Structure 1
């Protein structure tokens, strides 16, 4: 089956430049795993779009379509949002088979390449070919394409002439031979000033985009979910699970276990720290809920052995359980070594009252502000991390002030309710 639809009838209301009953279509698909909305398989972009879904379901601002890859669990989760229209694109078995074969071949043939980017390539192509017709009968007032550059082909193939927006969660590295699509966008939404400035450059594959066409839409988290876990029985149970003693300090890393996220820098810092009263939790995997081992993960395990028994690898932890992980930690160390477009994991930790040490990378400082410890990415990174960890562990009462300030900062700027209103502020009025 190619298309499955679930219908709902939202009741719109005026606000922020939007007309009553305005119809907005959000198109989301990817080549690195086929993450659906609702975010049944995780995924940063899918999770963020679910926040838009949640906000619009509550506020009923517009008639919203979510056009997404089919997943049975996601379909069940969608029932929690009766005021949203979900249009499901279901790749047939042969397409899924092509995905798995191609991903296997890429991983075998190009061991040093980021193979995860090709995990669901054929499903993405199928999605593009299927949904181009939706633009013709969807009668949308506004169309939003989420992040994936090849989705521009939907506009090109359908010859769509209405208002459309690209929402970039990363810096585009290709233009998929669709540079004209990006140049003709009504506007491009960027998750940070850093991303906006990158696509304004002439040397960016889709650039230069006029500054007047870029709008910053900062990411959000569910601050109702990401908050301190105060039940000490839960905290003690999870500490026992990972062999953490009552008086031991806990440092946590949360993220994809790939080189750009910098987990190795934390482990090197932990070796320099050489404290037997400190446990390090490495939370995450290379791919959602799949414990695939590559050369980088082998490096992490070798570093862990050098620290004795102070490092624990948890594997994938669900979004539902992440607040517990943050709450058992004394410090979250998230030392990204690439130009991270935004700082989502950082604000998740801060919302749970966990002090953050991170890097001056990409858009991260825009999210953390003055409420976390930000160090430079340079040859002294490992030493700097070790020193900052030592400093924070010795702060005591001042650390509590830092925790409280971080919680307030995230709630004030990065709640999903702020996000939905900012989103509609971005698409509500056409550029002058």
Structure 2
């Protein structure tokens, strides 16, 4: 089939500026292109040509300035004028694009992938939401939580929901005791930052209040391990290392912490795996209803035990004794309690991490993700074939 994937307006594909959706598309694109002709539309970037073919995949990029309306003002006219026909158009995380795309490609089968709660009535009108649910063939969601939220707003969407979890590259993320390259990365990072044999607690993510790293810094006041260090990897936005008010506040707190706190600033997506190799425990501190942060997959692939929050889809990743769930993400004492327990028994913590690694190997590789997407597309193809057969039968009856 001829497949078009439309990424969001925020960041380019491939994920040279980071981004969970961009990483997702980049992780599966090559695998999907082995089975179908693939075109990917995304945001333009000064380091990428506006039209190129790489590894059999065509990339077309349009100016957006990070604004959906600007992006659509370029994408929709292109689709209207292009003579290229697509069997399936797969739109990522922008239900607002569905009807404009449909208006210029009325015969295309449309699949929608949802990575955030974009069907929320604050973001999407009831009228448009109803039209989108009716128009799409399948709504792929990044977690059961996102699917349940869509169904809460639009019960009729239930039959179209399909959860496909994200994935991770097992060749880049590996337990340091099982991989020579991971061990080298661990030693290199620890040497560069004078970490020695310290017990490293790791947070990776955008630095904003709803992501909650300030609560983790506060938890250091109750940590019983003086040989520990907290590392906070991330910036206010992907590829953006400016010091926001929140980051300034976080760093001021870190300076007063009894446990050393390192804030790295922005780390390129191609380098961040090294910090996972260097760590002993991974903590996700989301206070908001997180769809399901992809850093969980990376931490598990690196063999790290997880501490995550009972928010949104995050609890869905805790299975088979691979981590623990914080019930009150705004309580530093709850983090400190679990951290004290894990750091007191690093052998047991590593076993939790290896459970997570096994879980990833069995469920969350890019091969798994691509296989599930191919299944969605094949089901759409089956409906196309059935519709064509029905039309042919109608024609013969009329004759």
Fold similarity call, TM over 0.5: yes
Q: Does 1:171 align with 2:93?
A: no
> Which one of 155, 158, 175 corresponds to residue 104 of structure 2?
158
Provide Cα deviations, 1:113-169, integer angstroms capped at 9, x if missing partner: xxxxxx4456424334444426x6231111111102332253254252321011001
Tell me the residue number matched to 1:198.
149
1:379 deviation in Å? Answer: 7.0
Tell me the residue number matched to 2:387.
none
For 1:359 and 1:248, the matched residues in 2 are separated by: 25
Q: Using a 3 Å threshold, how does the CA distance of structure 1 residues 272 and 402 change in structure 2: closer, same or farther?
A: same
For 1:210 and 1:249, the matched residues in 2 are separated by: 46
Tell me the residue number matched to 1:186.
137
CA contact (8 A) 2:76 2:104 kept: no
Trace 1:142-157 onto structure 2 (pairs within 5 A): 142-157=88-103
For 2:313 and 2:185, the matched residues in 1 are separated by: 34
CA contact (8 A) 1:358 1:372 kept: no
* Count of equivalent residues: 373
Q: Using a 3 Å threshold, how does the CA distance of structure 1 residues 75 and 352 change in structure 2: closer, same or farther?
A: farther
For 1:242 and 1:159, the matched residues in 2 are separated by: 54
For 1:148 and 1:132, the matched residues in 2 are separated by: 16
- Runs of 5+ in structure 1 lacking a partner? 1-21, 100-118
For 2:246 and 2:221, the matched residues in 1 are separated by: 18
- With structure 1 as the length reference, what TM-score do the two structures score? 0.80
Tell me the residue number matched to 1:259.
209
Q: Using a 3 Å threshold, how does the CA distance of structure 1 residues 272 and 224 change in structure 2: closer, same or farther?
A: same
Q: Does 1:137 align with 2:113?
A: no
Q: Does 1:37 align with 2:16?
A: no
- Runs of 5+ in structure 2 lacking a partner? 384-399
| Displaced runs of 4 or more, over 4 A | 74-79
> Which one of 11, 27, 32 corresponds to residue 51 of structure 1?
27
Q: Using a 3 Å threshold, how does the CA distance of structure 1 residues 178 and 158 change in structure 2: closer, same or farther?
A: farther
Tell me the residue number matched to 2:391.
none
Q: Does 1:228 align with 2:175?
A: yes
Trace 1:120-131 onto structure 2 (pairs within 5 A): 120-121=67-68, 123-131=70-78
Provide Cα deviations, 1:79-115, integer angstroms capped at 9, x if missing partner: 6x422122232x2xxx7xxx4xxxxxxxxxxxxxxxx
1:76 deviation in Å? Answer: 10
- With structure 2 as the length reference, what TM-score do the two structures score? 0.86
